[in-house]
Amino acid sequence: MFRFQYGVTTKASRKLTWEVFSNWRRWNEFANVSGDMNWREGRPWEAGSRLEIEVREPVKTVVSHVITNCQPGHKVGWIDHALGVVLAQWVSFEEQPRNGKRVHTWGDIVHSGVKIAGRTAEQVIISFRRDMVRKSSIGV
């Protein structure tokens, strides 16, 4: 199993942090690595709902997200499916000792060893996260 994680800290309130994160229509304003995003089933962020995200870089694909748990402003979990890879991922919104929030993301690749464009799934995930952070247009 391969685990990845990253996080950012913001001075925004928990409510505002959740509002910014959960507004999926604006995600490309922060890091333009995705194309179309559409909820295919259910209401956004409810357990059992499905979000499809077109990924443009580092590999073109569509990732299907199934929301498994959502506690707005606290944590959200989903399972991703794309290119023969299954990924469990969580995002938590944690209070910090000095008036801030840490948005922490971690995930586990369940079916490791899959090759995508000559690279392992782990290498593609690392590249995607690096590109997303590099292309981010906001500072938090």
Mean pLDDT of the chain: 81
Q: Read off the pTM.
A: 0.77
Closest CA to 50 of 38, 35, 61: 38
Residue 1, SS3 per DSSP: coil
- pLDDT one-digit tens code per residue, 10-33: 888 888 889 988 998 887 776 666
Fold of 2-134: Alpha-D-Glucose-1,6-Bisphosphate; Chain A, domain 4 (3.30.530)
Looking at per-residue pLDDT, the higher value among 76 and 100 belongs to 76
DSSP symbols for 42-104? SSTTSTT-EEEEEE-SSS-EEEEEEEEEEETTTEEEEEEEETTEEEEEEEEEEEETTTEEEEE
- Predicted confidence band at 64 (pLDDT cuts at 50, 70, 90)? very high
For residue 137, is pLDDT > 70?
no
- Predicted confidence band at 65 (pLDDT cuts at 50, 70, 90)? very high
Residues β-bridged to residue 139: none
Residues β-bridged to residue 102: 9, 94
